[in-house]
């Protein structure tokens, strides 16, 4: 796992983000559609905090917004190269991604709630507290009551999804989804933005664990990672039954 202190000035890979895997913030919360029993159904995994990857807290534009219990998880990929070094490159990649989201996309902070690297390290994304339901900027029209987990890398057709990465994504989802939410089930949500696949105000029946492409016109999280989502749901369900 990651050392407690990381030296600044780490080597940085070229940023290769695409707008299609990002989604503008939407400030109107979606209504709650079914009873969710509050409380984790799985243990909290080890999470590397923002202070460790030296997030630029001065660049954050607004205080975090909280949305209530998480009812859906949207999986993303960041579209970086997959050849990064987990120990030396990742903090710089996260800082560059935060800068891109704030200065180029016009968001308040890094859009994703959590980012997972290919070695299975889990990073705190958007500020506000990993234990709280922080509203992200990852699912246009469905940011309310949802969680955005981004796989650091590019997982299009033919790419391998590292088992350690998938296991950590499952661990985060198992922990953040409250009791009473079936990770292999469905959730009814209402779009609050015409930019999603569903017009504003239209109900959408989505998988509790979905890919970004399920609600937004994009290739994200890539064909290879998207194909792993059914297996991911099974992994999350197993973790919650232990």
The mean pLDDT of 145-155, rounded to a whole number, is 97
Strand, coil or helix: 239 = helix
Closest CA to 218 of 125, 166, 150: 150
| pLDDT above 90 coverage of the chain, percent | 80
Residue 16 confidence (pLDDT) above 70: no
* Stated pTM of the model: 0.86
Give residues with Cβ within 8 angstroms of 201, minimum separation 6.
190, 191, 192
Q: Which residue has the higher pLDDT, 26 or 100?
A: 100
Distance CA 230, CA 31 (A): 26
Per residue in 181-194, pLDDT tens? 999 999 999 999 88
Residue position matching structure tokens 């660049």:
59
Mean pLDDT (the chain) is 87
Distance CA 5, CA 122 (A): 16
Q: Are 149 and 176 in contact, with CB atoms under 8 Å apart?
A: no
Q: Are 146 and 71 in contact, with CB atoms under 8 Å apart?
A: yes
């Amino acid at each position: 796992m990651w050392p407690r202190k990381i030296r600044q000035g780490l080597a940085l890979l070229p940023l290769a983000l695409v707008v299609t895997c990002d989604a503008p913030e939407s400030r109107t919360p979606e209504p709650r559609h079914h009873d969710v029993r509050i409380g984790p159904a799985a243990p909290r995994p080890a999470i590397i905090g923002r202070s460790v990857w030296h997030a630029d807290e001065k660049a954050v534009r607004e205080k975090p917004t909280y949305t209530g219990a998480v009812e859906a998880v949207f999986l993303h990929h960041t579209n970086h190269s997959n050849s990064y070094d987990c120990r030396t490159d990742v903090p710089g990649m996260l800082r560059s991604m935060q800068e891109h989201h704030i200065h180029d996309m016009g968001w308040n902070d890094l859009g994703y709630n959590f980012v997972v690297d290919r070695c299975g390290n889990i990073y705190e994304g958007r500020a506000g507290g990993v234990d709280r339901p922080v509203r992200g900027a990852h699912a246009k029209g469905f940011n309310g009551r949802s969680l955005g987990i981004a796989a650091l890398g590019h997982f299009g057709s033919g790419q391998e999804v590292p088992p350690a990465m998938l296991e950590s994504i499952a661990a985060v989802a198992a922990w953040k989804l409250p009791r009473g939410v079936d990770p292999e089930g469905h959730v009814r949500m209402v779009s609050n933005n015409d930019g999603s696949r569903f017009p504003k105000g239209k109900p959408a029946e989505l998988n509790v664990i979905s890919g970004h492409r399920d609600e937004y016109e994009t290739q994200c999280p890539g064909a290879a990672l998207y194909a792993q989502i059914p297996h991911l749901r099974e992994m999350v369900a197993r973790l919650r039954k232990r």
